[in-house]
Structure formats: C-alpha cells, structure tokens
Amino acid sequence: MTTQTHSPTVLEIILRAVWFCILIFFFLVAVKLFGDAAKLLTVTYEDGWNFFLSNLSNPFLSLSLGIFLTAIMQSSSATTSIAVAMTASGTLTVEQAVPFVMGTNIGTSVTSTIVALGCLSDRRTFSKAYSASALQDSFNLMTTAILFPLEICFGFLSHLAHFMIGFMPLGTEISSKGSWNPLPWLVNLPVEFIHKSVCENLLCLLPTVTAALMMILGLGILFFSLIHITRNMKVLMADNIEKLLNRVLSKNGLIGIVIGIIVTMIIQSSSITTSLLVPLVASGVLKLEGIYPILLGANIGTTITAILAAMAYAGTGGAAGLTLGLVHFLFNFCGTLIFYPIPWMRWPVRWAKFLSKLAERSRYYIVGWVLLVFIIIPLVGMLIFH
C-alpha cells in the first residue's frame, strides 16, 4: 500500500508566498517596536539602565544571560532579534551584545534535546537520538570555548564584523535618505502610529506604561510571526526535506552544509532542521557523521534572522544591528572552519558519541548534563559575575 503526500498547488504556493512577505513585515515591525520601547525605558530610567549596562559589560554575565534566556524561551531567533533591536536602537553596544549572542547559540541546543526525549522509552533508541542533539551542544560549546576568549582579549568577532560592514552600503550610510534599504521607512509607519497616535495621544499613557505596552506587543508580534513563518514554510518544504537529506548525504558533505544553510534560511528555524535529523538518527536511517554537515549548515542558515532584524533600522543604528547580525554569522562560520574541514578536528562528533554512551548507560547522566549546561552554569555565572 502506498501513501500519497499532499503537494501544494500553484495557487497555494502563491498565497503562502504573499503570507510569508506579510509575516516578514510583521517581524520587522515587532523588532522595531521592541527596540523603541527599550530606548524609551532607558531615557525614563537612565540611572537604572546605566547600572544594568555596567553589569552587562561583564562578558561572562552577558554569556550566561544569553544561555539562560534562550534555554527558557526556546528560540534563539527571538533572543538574537531582541539583541539586534537593542543594539540598533543604541541601548546596547556591539561589544556588550557579542557574548550574549554566543550564549544564545548554546541555549538553543535545548530544543533538540527536548525532541530526543520523545525516544526516552527505549534506552538504545534514546542513546542514538540524544547523540544527534548532543552534537549541536558540543559544537556550540566548543566553538564558544575557542572564540569567547579571542573576543574578550582581541575583539576578534566584533572587529571582523566592523571590517565587513565597511564594504556594505549600509555601513557608510549616515541617514536613511537614499539608503539602499527601503524597509525602515515602511516599518516605522505602524510603529510611530502605535507609539504616538495610540499610546501617547489617544490613551495618554505615561512613558513607562507606553514602553511596557510596546514591548509586550512587540514580543507578541515577534513570536506570532516567527511561529507562522515556520509553519508556513514547513508545509511547503517538510515533505521533501527527508528525501533531500538522504540523497545529498550519500554524495558530499559540503553539499550537505549548503543544503542545511538553504533549508534553514527558507524555514527560518534551525530547530526544525535539527528536529528532523534527531529521529532519522534514532531510527538508524542516518549516522551521526552523516548529519554533521547538515547541522553545521543549519547553524549558519539561522543567522539570517538576526541580519533580517537589522533591516528594520536605517543609518548608524542599522549598521550597528547588522554588525551584530554578522557576528552571529561569523561565530557559526568560524566554528565550521575549525571543526569540519580536517577530519581529526571533528571533536563535536566524538563528544556527542561519548554522551550517547552515557545516555545508554543511564538517563540520569543526561539529565545532569542538561541541567548543568543550560540552568546551573548560567545561573551561577550570573550570580558570581554580578
């Protein structure tokens, strides 16, 4: 008996493409709303914000906060977008936000771990499933272990991103007039309407209440747009992804990286790409070495969200936001250059296999590891360095 999969019609593809563009616009409005709200709060509570910044200037605290918030929110796209919004609005500097973005890369690994827990009933299957999720943990932790000290001592990622910005039109644009990016003006229309017309003139709210309302509304629209972008593209792509992965992985690992980048950029969620890989490994369809290049590509592809968020701003604000987006890209790109081209340098695969053996021996080892990486270390780091 054969099963038939639903293929979207031409009309459905067109409608979903239009809906995708609308959702992208909602996403940019949400980022701008949150950034403007944060800026309004910093003006209202300048002393408190300066105290917060003095703590966030500690890179260890910023890293821990990134891990903890992303692990709780289960969305690196949301947390990096918020960081970009605060950087573009001038409430954070790029240097303060870089460790936070590194932390979001570690924190997002918890999603694939949750997917692996679906195989908890069978110890052998869980061991294989967890090896796939642990691969993402291992890559992000090892990349951070190398690049974090380089950033603290030499500003490696931030300086490289600033250098790259100099070759882009946005990097030399002082004002939004004549800018290569037409989106800021369009995005600013609904934001100004909500801020000035509704909150201040119509409702006559205090600045604090206005900022809080804008922030809540921004977060709501942000999550709404991200969730529906993911669902929308999953309908169009998910049926073909598994066949595509099997076809590609049998040929070339580098092609696997490219496919991982493209699929994740389209779906706007590395979580879906990695979530598809976990059951494939658990069922024995794919080996850990086979999914490694796809996962690396997914990590690079997901950085498009932060770069897209920067497009809500023009001029120097947009340049600062785009710089942070490039830092997010460079983090994953440099990690790939370190841990993929040379076979004996593929340490994340070895560590993932070690953790999978611990998972097969006892599930409590994995519970301890997850609590240690995603909860205990970030909380202890925030308490110590605070």
Instruction: Tell the residue number behind the tokens 């970030």, with chain if given.
Output: 378
> Of 37, 57, 41, which is closest to residue 49 (Cα–Cα)?
41
- Structure tokens of 63? 């890293």
Distance CA 26, CA 385 (A): 37
Q: From 43, 60, 153, select the one nearest 99 (Cα to Cα).
A: 60
Q: Are 135 and 102 contacting, i.e. CB atoms less than 8 angstroms apart? A: no
How far is residue 354's CA from residue 370's CA, in Å, rounded to a whole number?
15
Domain boundaries, the chain: 11-385
The pTM of the full predicted model, rounded to 2 decimals, is 0.73
What is the model's pLDDT at position 145?
92
CB–CB of 313/184 below 8 Å? yes
Task: Say what the pLDDT of residue 173 is.
Answer: 41
**pLDDT score at 2:** 44
CB atoms within 10 A of CB 204: 9
Q: Computed over its alpha carbons, how large is the radius of gyration of the chain?
A: 21
Q: What is the pLDDT of residue 11?
A: 83
What pLDDT score does 171 carry?
41
> In this predicted structure, what is the pLDDT of residue 174?
38
Give the model's pLDDT for residue 146. Answer: 95
249's CB contacts (< 8 A; 6+ apart) are: 256, 286, 290, 291, 293, 294
The whole-number pLDDT of residue 194 equals: 80
pLDDT at 329: 93
Rounded CA gap, 77 and 32, in Å?
Answer: 15
- Stretches where the chain sits below pLDDT 70 are 1-8, 38, 42-56, 72-75, 111, 115, 118, 168-184, 198-205, 226, 229-230, 233-251, 267-269, 271-272, 275-276, 285, 314, 382, 385-386
* Residues 164-175 pLDDT 10s: 887 765 543 433
Note whether 326 and 88 are within 8 A (CB): no
pLDDT of the residue at 176: 41
The candidate with the shortest Cα–Cα distance to 78, out of 115, 47, 111, 49, is: 111
Alpha-carbon torsion (351, 357, 362, 363), positive or negative = positive
